[in-house]
């Protein structure tokens, strides 16, 4: 019975991560329709709306216990919140400094960094299938964005170093979530991360230029593209390994060009489609192999 419940929880966690990655992936197509808002201001408003959304969720579910829930996260909450903040800010700063292709290729190493950190800190064994999936996913990302890769100029080197903060922070955050386990609810850490990010970017976002149209889109980005999916990832984390979460999160980059094509008329190149198919294949093979291992384990236990 326990194995059955664990299997069901694992499937639900995969579904939550797919939904989270899908929501993250709408950032590009929504941003294309902004009229007058700069990237620093986008980061500020997106973070602020995310903070309001997560706070409202905590107040709705916890009532007067919302502040106690934030305090109960302790050191884990501060560390996780700081990592969320770094990811929120560094991604936009990298895009301001170098190309989108450079930023996304650097971000694609998140599963590898997560696997290495999880093995070092959590002593978490990484299955050969997961190593293979990570290698295949990175190859797919290089195929997708390799033609747009630029290096050599100092600004591109600086931009890629900034972008490196994103997968590094993601790895630390995922290992923090796994280390905290089910004993600490780290959903409030998303609130802390959004507050930290809004506070850091406010001086650079002034003077505000967003009009009512842009504010409506930024509210969508903050609530549905940032706050909600980050909460879903936290909910999924107890039932998935850290590298597994990082791999599933790559769906964001695969789906992003699809929405830009459908919603903004940006037709993807053939390499983008082929590389995306390779990334999705890596994710599917890893999850199908994991399901097979669990099924054999249950069968062996039953006999």
Instruction: Write out the residue range of the structural domain in which residue 144 sits.
Output: 2-302
Q: What angle do CA 33, 39, 40 make, to 5 degrees?
A: 140
Percent of all residues in the chain with a pLDDT value above 90, rounded to a whole number: 47
> What contacts 116, CB < 8 A, 6 or more positions away?
171
pLDDT tens sequence across 48-103: 999 999 999 999 999 989 999 999 999 999 999 999 999 999 988 887 787 777 77
Average pLDDT of the chain?
Answer: 87
Spell out a b/e string for 189-216, using b for 16 or more CB atoms within 10 Å of the CB, else e.
bbbbbbbbbbebbbeebeeeebeeebee
CA dihedral 292, 144, 21, 130 (to 10 degrees): 30
Question: How many domains does the chain divide into?
Answer: 1
pLDDT attached to residue 3 = 58
Q: Which of 175, 193, 91, 100 is nearest to 141 (CA)?
A: 100
Instruction: Say what the pTM is.
Output: 0.87
pLDDT tens sequence across 1-17: 455 667 788 889 999 99
* Per-residue CA distances from 230 to 28, 157, 206, 208 (Å): 17, 29, 26, 26
pLDDT tens sequence across 186-225: 999 999 999 999 999 999 999 999 999 999 999 999 999 9
State how far the Cα of 295 lies from the Cα of 21, in Å rounded to an integer. Answer: 26
């Amino acid at each position: 019975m326990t194995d059955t419940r664990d299997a069901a929880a694992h499937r639900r966690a995969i579904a939550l991560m797919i939904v989270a990655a899908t929501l993250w992936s709408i950032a590009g197509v929504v941003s294309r329709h902004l009229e007058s808002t700069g990237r620093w201001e986008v980061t500020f408003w997106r973070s602020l709306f995310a903070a309001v959304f997560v706070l409202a969720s905590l107040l709705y579910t916890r009532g007067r216990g919302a502040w106690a829930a934030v305090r109960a996260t302790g050191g884990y909450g501060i560390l996780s919140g700081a990592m969320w903040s770094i990811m929120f800010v560094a991604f936009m700063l990298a895009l301001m400094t170098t190309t989108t292709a450079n930023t996304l290729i650097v971000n694609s190493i998140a599963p590898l960094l997560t696997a290495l950190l999880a093995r070092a800190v959590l002593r978490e064994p990484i299955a050969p299938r997961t190593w293979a999936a990570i290698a295949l996913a990175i190859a797919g990302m290089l195929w997708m964005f390799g033609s747009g890769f630029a290096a050599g100029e100092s600004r591109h080197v600086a931009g890629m170093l900034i972008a490196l903060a994103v997968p590094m922070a993601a790895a630390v955050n995922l290992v923090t979530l796994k280390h905290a386990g089910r004993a600490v609810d780290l959903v409030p850490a998303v609130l802390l991360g959004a507050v930290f990010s809004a506070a850091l970017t406010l001086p650079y976002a002034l003077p505000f230029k967003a009009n009512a149209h842009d504010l409506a889109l930024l509210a969508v980005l903050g609530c549905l593209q940032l706050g909600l999916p980050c909460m879903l990832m936290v909910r999924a984390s107890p039932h998935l390994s850290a590298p597994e979460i990082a791999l599933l999160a790559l769906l964001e980059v695969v789906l992003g060009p699809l929405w830009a094509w459908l919603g903004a008329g940006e037709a993807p190149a053939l390499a983008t489609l082929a590389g995306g198919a390779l990334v999705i294949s890596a994710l599917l093979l890893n999850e199908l192999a994991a399901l097979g291992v669990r099924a054999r384990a249950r069968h062996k236990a039953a006999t």
